[in-house]
Structure 1
Amino acid sequence: MLDGSGTSARARAEAVVGLADLFTIGIGPSSSHTVGPMRAGYGFAEAALDRGKPASVSCELFGSLALTGKGHGTDTAVMLGLAGHQPECVDPDAVPSMVATIRAEGKLKLCGLATVPFVEGTHLIFRDDCFLSAHPNGMRFVAHYADSEPYETFWYSIGGGAVVEGGCEPPQTNVTLPFAFSSGAELLAVGAAEGKSIADIVRANEAAWRDDGETDAFLDSLRAAMSACIERGMRGAGELPGGLKVKRRARDLHARLIARGPRSDPSLVFDWVSLWALAVNEENAAGGRVVTAPTNGAAGVIPAVLRYYETFCASPSPAGARTFLLTAAAIGFLYKKRASISAAEMGCQGEVGVACSMAACCSSICAIIMA
């Protein structure tokens, strides 16, 4: 066996997860195939340098990463991660030139510090003939040293941009949540017993990691990134990358909607919501800055419904947007703990289904829990 055992359902259900595990700012086109591998490459590079200066490093991609990785930019993501870039900070517009330089020179600077040879096909291998047992999205990294044993480790991209090293169990934490829940029934019971809304419960649990001010700042950064993604998507023109010659449509749709009447016209609600979701999806496909909500593949749903709240609902406010995201997160936690948000495990339709559930709960489950 190349790797350890798979993730158990019990370990998932008992895992402690928070907002930062569900919503992260990264780049497209895929949270599991782009964001995750970039984080894995970065984590491996740091660990490899802690052991000395490597003479060379290599990465093997397995399963779904190998089969669909080229279309999802997994090769680009691994190279960027090894070179010290992270999805939250890397400039999407600079990515093509950075990758072109690595390919032209046949080398990269590990974490921006130590130059090592890096040639695709030799140091980055797509193993489309092999699946690892722990998870469909597996990677094996190896660092070789001149005067010591090689350092080898496995990483897994488990969905939504999250990665784990070694076996595929969720990382352990000493954090204790005041209102822990692992099912919808438990969430409803906590709300009824404490007289709290879903958003109140999630906010109280987030205090285990940070104070309310920091949580609000994090939520505001997510909202700002989602809004900016919509605006960029509505301005984008031309064809999407990938070789299929798919033309971006959001810009033209936006112009047609503007011509039809004011944005506040209730008869156009569904057209606007569809436009906003499409704008995000096209920006994601183009490798732009997006928020995993809970994944890149489903990234358009939450921003579109949030923009609906801010455009068509009476008296929208920053506090209302925070409540929306906190409530949606609670439902995302349940899927992450009891099922999956990874398309490699349950298909792309599953990703979008999770996002739709997260968005829908804001108008339905909140009313039930406070009844």
Structure 2
Amino acid sequence: MNGKTLLGTFVILIMLTSVLAVAPVAKGEVEVNSEEAKLLRLIEKIRSGLERLKGVVSHLNDTEKKQTILGKIGEAERLLDQAEQLVNQGEIERAKDTLKEVFSLLREIAQLLGKEREFIKRFESVRRYIHIIESLRKHLNLMERIADRLERAGKDVSEVKALIQLSREYLSKSIEAAKDKNFTAAKEYLEKARETTREAYGKLKLLIEEFLSEKAPEYLARLKELFQKIKSRLENVNPKLAEKFANWARGKEQLIEALINEGKYRKALVEIRKAIGEIKRFAQHLEGFRKLYKLLAFAQTVAEKVRECNSTLADMIMEKVGQIKQAVKNRDWDRVKELSRELISLLREARSCLTVHKKE
């Protein structure tokens, strides 16, 4: 943002004074709410502009002028807070009057900054320059990390790394030129760094696509093997569940194969990762079922043994087993947990009964 743009912003804000001065008093509730919303948005917009302006003004060389402007900005911010409070209280007209004071301060600030256009322009240019430098460095670091991973996977990334290094050298030269106030050279080196970075990115992207095109089918093959192992285990436990799982797995395989055939390797790998995540959740769920049915089988065995010493307790255990099975059928998992805790408590009681019975 150059000096003219900055001053132009203040001119626009000053012009709003006349708009507020003639704004009609809203009578309907909907209109009031709309006017309140507009005022609050305006207040926030001015507040944001003042915050940015403080950053610029803090770099002024004229200390006295800097303190004067910062003082006026602080006063404007205080008035904005006051105006916001008045709007929230429904004091629309008083809020407008307060905003007029804010605009008066903005006009004074604009006049004080009138002679600082070149400084503001230069400051914004430096700010943009620093932003580009930092952005390029981040991109280069990220690209280097990706290149390292591809290199470990057996890919030749020497050309990409050479371009990354060259881009960094151009950045260093650009910074040195800027320090020497040779801004023409600084700009030229910066542009070379950007071009070299783009070239490195293009080559890296091709290597990534090549890597993914090789890995996607390989990972799909592994996923199919995993699907088959799970299906085989399920068939020994629950044939219906095994069939349901097989249908789900088949759908996943078809989706991933279609993506690979279309050359959408990234999406294919994303789907593979999703499938693995779903399998893990399914495995955890299945393990929970395995433990539950093991508990129920154990409870039935205990009930048979304990019936000799306490038939009532045996009936309670069997009743609890039936309740758990019904809760599972209803998919009421909270109820399953609650009943399982109660069953375990009954089994502890049964153990005591069996211990006493043995002694007798």
Q: What is the TM-score with the length of structure 1 in the denominator? A: 0.19
Query: Quick one: higher RCO (CA 8 Å, sep 6+), 1 or 2?
Result: 1
Structure number with larger C-alpha Rg: 2
Q: What is the TM-score with the length of structure 2 in the denominator? A: 0.19
The structure with the greater share of residues assigned to helix is 2
The structure with the greater share of residues assigned to strand is 1
